[in-house]
Chain A
Amino acid sequence: MQQLFAAIVTMALGVLACAAYFYLSNLLLDRIFPSKNRSGPEASRNLRIAGAIRPWLFLGPALIALGLFLVYPVFGTLWYSLHDRNGTTFVGLENFRWLFQDGEFRQSIFNNFLWLLVVPALSTFFGLIIAAMTDRIAWGGFAKTLIFMPMAISFVGASVIWKFIYDYRGEGSEQIGLLNALVVYFGGEPQAWISLPFWNNFFLMAILIWIQTGFAMVILSAALRGIPEETVEAAVIDGANGFQIFFKIMIPQIWGTIAVVWTTITILVLKVFDIVLAMTNGQWQSQVLANLMFSWMFRGSDNGRGAAIALVIMVLVIPIIYWNIRNARREMGGR
């Protein structure tokens, strides 16, 4: 209760402080460069100067925060990656040399690659199919709400839920996991799903797909609604069937949105961490880069190696982010 109160007070104070900052800094600017009751040329000169300063004044806090929490850490990480585990001795590229011959790192790269291939593709695919179908049925709105709901669950929460689904009990005891219950019902042998090397990757991916399909569906559903009805009707008159209309008329018109959704999920996948940590912690060959970094940084207490892995992740994400932003810009400016 007390914590809640403290949180609310902090929030209120924060918002107030922000408002006060903008209000007072603006006031101060107008004091220093007044334009009211001044002669014409002086007023216009002051107006121009104030106009040039104001954006920086307002952007200032955000820029400083970004610099402090985003740009500085990048250089910090770079520095750490070139030093030993305590950040005291310069070791050059030793951490990277170690990285590229490390079996677990290679395993992580391979697994990340699998995630990258499967999760964005399936999330976008399911999202698109569901968006297209729910737009046509009466209870589509309800179905959409259900499918979107997992978005509101944290990754760790979702992992706990899915742990129950994949749960395995030793021979002789009753299977309480949904998947094993189904397998047994159909006469199969229960499995310890998340410890099956290679395949367990896909069982973990299912969780992220389950969460991200809702995101893809919402964005793509909006895009599908933006397609002019007449182009579809023209295609009907031209004799196109449902599939042809979907693939030749509708998909090409929302291609930009599909790309944005795809890349957004791709970036998320490169950073995937919580699910793996909560489900397997990288055991049974299910390690991924972010979890590997976490392991070295905080469990292995090796700042150098952890930072080196972080840099690898960053380098992988940058081109996708660049592409994503460019695409999003084109989407917004194109029409």
Chain B
Amino acid sequence: MAGLTLTNIRKTYGAVNVIHGIDLEVQQGEFVVFVGPSGCGKSTLLRMIAGLEDITGGDMFIDGEKVNDVPPSKRGIAMVFQSYALYPHMTVYDNMAFGMRISGEKKEEIDRRVRSAADILQLTAYLERLPKALSGGQRQRVAIGRAICRDPKVFLFDEPLSNLDAALRVATRIEIAKLKESMPDTTMVYVTHDQVEAMTLADRIVVLSAGRIEQVGAPLELYERPANLFVAKFIGSPAMNVIPATITAGGAQTTVTLAGGKSVTLDIATGTGVAGKAASFGVRPEDLQVSGTDEFLFEGTVSIVEALGEVTLLYIEGLVKDEPIIVKLPGTLPIKRGETLRFTADRAKLHLFDAAGLSYRSR
């Protein structure tokens, strides 16, 4: 069953178009993550789902009911804000109870729900404290607790972890994952900048760019089969290397000439009539290996070595001007800058995009 459906959703501020027609179907109980560069409209979209922003055009359904004109409190949603947005003059208990008190819930029921949420989030010891007497992580848990108490059909998170330090972020992320597991029927929509959050939490990721959906898919699907150059470069860190290329022969397999003159054959079907067309050849830094034989993709000079212990990053010059190719090799390696090396990659892990940036693989 559909937990949340958006059809051709648009948003304009005066003459400024911010969201250009979003179609999205989210199943009940699904965990969907919105990612995209800053200013692409993630928050705006989330706030439209919440009802905090008017919908300029299109229809929105929650649980099958059209909610375009339903006020936020009646949509069956709860939202966790980046800034926590706790009521500073109320105790943790009152923060969580506020919504239920407004809706005239019975005292015992309020108490039961607050205590059970506090129990899940280990907040029981802090119930009588004011938010200012809590740490950032505790405040964010209270904000999540307040959302749980609303017993929503759809949970909305807007970058809930971005104000926390790195260690706490990991811990809270795991808590959110557990929370999702304990509420299998609740739909969650989560906005983040952080790839790790997106990859680990999401059932499906929605990649947005400039108010449009670039691709929707399971995390690994986006990683392995990005539909276009934007997604290819956005998912994965460091970003995928893209080398300008020209197609020399199409068909079930495709042969391209890379910038620099090297010819490569890919297991990607491009059909007929593509010979001579410009294309972009892509390969992820972690899919490259040092080649010991004459078989190689490209050759270049190491300009920078970054030894991170767990991996070594090499910046290779010589193929595309001013745009070094990045190679990510496991472990620590005795490679010096200035060395000239040859690199190769598994054929199955190569990507090819047409001049418009669309992947040949996903057709």
Contact = CB atoms under 8 A, between A and B. Distances in A.
Interface of A: 228, 230-231, 233-240, 244, 248-249, 252-253, 255
A234 B88 contact: no
B83 interface: yes
A239 B88 contact: no
B50 interface: yes
Contact of A249 (B77, B79, B87): B87
Contact of A234 (B71, B74, B87, B103): B87
Chain A contact residues, majority secondary structure = helix
A237 B102 contact: no
A230 B85 contact: yes
A282 B68 CA distance: 63
A238 B85 contact: no
A237 B89 contact: no
B81 interface: yes
Given A236-B51, A236-B73, A253-B89, 19 more contacts: A230-B83, A230-B84, A231-B86, A231-B88, A233-B85, A234-B86, A234-B87, A237-B52, A237-B72, A237-B73, A237-B150, A238-B73, A238-B99, A239-B74, A239-B102, A240-B73, A249-B87, A252-B90, A253-B88
Contacts of A234: 79, 81, 85-87, 146
Nearest to B98: A238
Contacts of A244: 102
B85 A228 contact: yes
A230 B81 contact: yes
Contacts, number: 61
Contacts of B90: 252
A239 B103 contact: yes
Contacts of B313: none
A239 B99 contact: yes
16 contacts: A228-B85, A230-B81, A230-B85, A233-B79, A234-B81, A234-B86, A235-B87, A237-B51, A237-B72, A237-B73, A237-B77, A237-B79, A238-B99, A239-B74, A240-B73, A253-B87
Contacts of A237: 50-52, 72-73, 77-79, 99, 150
A238 B102 contact: yes
A253 B150 CA distance: 23
A228 B83 CA distance: 9
A233 B81 contact: yes
A66 B283 CA distance: 77
B87 A231 contact: yes
B219 to A, nearest CB: 29
A106 to B, nearest CB: 41
A238 B86 CA distance: 12
Contacts of B74: 239
Contacts of B89: 252-253, 255
Nearest to A248: B98
Chain B binding site: helix, strand, loop or mixed by DSSP? loop
Contacts of B88: 231, 253
A252 B90 CA distance: 9
A253 B81 CA distance: 19
A240 to B, nearest CB: 5
Contacts of A255: 89
B76 to A, nearest CB: 11
Contacts of A231: 85-88
B144 to A, nearest CB: 12
List of 8 A-B pairs having minimum Cβ-Cβ separation, nearest first = A239-B73, A230-B85, A238-B99, A252-B89, A234-B85, A237-B72, A239-B102, A230-B81
A237 B155 CA distance: 12
A236 B150 contact: no
Contact of B102 (A228, A230, A240, A253): A240
B316 to A, nearest CB: 46
Contacts of B81: 230, 233-234
A19 B7 CA distance: 70
Contacts of A239: 73-74, 99, 102-103
A238 B79 CA distance: 9
Contacts of B99: 237-239
Interface in B43-95: 50-52, 71-74, 77-79, 81, 83-90
Nearest to A236: B72
Contacts of B79: 233-234, 237
A236 B85 CA distance: 12
Interface in B99-117: 99, 102-103
B83 A235 contact: no
B338 to A, nearest CB: 50
A195 B71 CA distance: 55
B314 to A, nearest CB: 44
Contacts of B86: 231, 234
Nearest to B47: A233
Nearest to B79: A237
A233 B73 CA distance: 10
Among A233, A249, A252, A255, find the residue whose CB has the most chain B CB atoms closer than 10 A: A233
A257 to B, nearest CB: 13
B124 to A, nearest CB: 22
A181 to B, nearest CB: 46
A252 B84 CA distance: 18
Nearest to A240: B102
A248 B72 CA distance: 18
A317 to B, nearest CB: 30
Nearest to A227: B88
A231 B90 CA distance: 12
Interface in B133-165: 146, 150
Contact of A235 (B71, B78, B84, B98): B98
Contacts of A235: 87, 98
A148 B51 CA distance: 36
Nearest to A255: B89
Contacts of B73: 236-240
A102 to B, nearest CB: 46
A231 B78 CA distance: 13
A240 B73 CA distance: 8
A234 B84 CA distance: 9
A236 B74 CA distance: 10
Contacts of A228: 83, 85
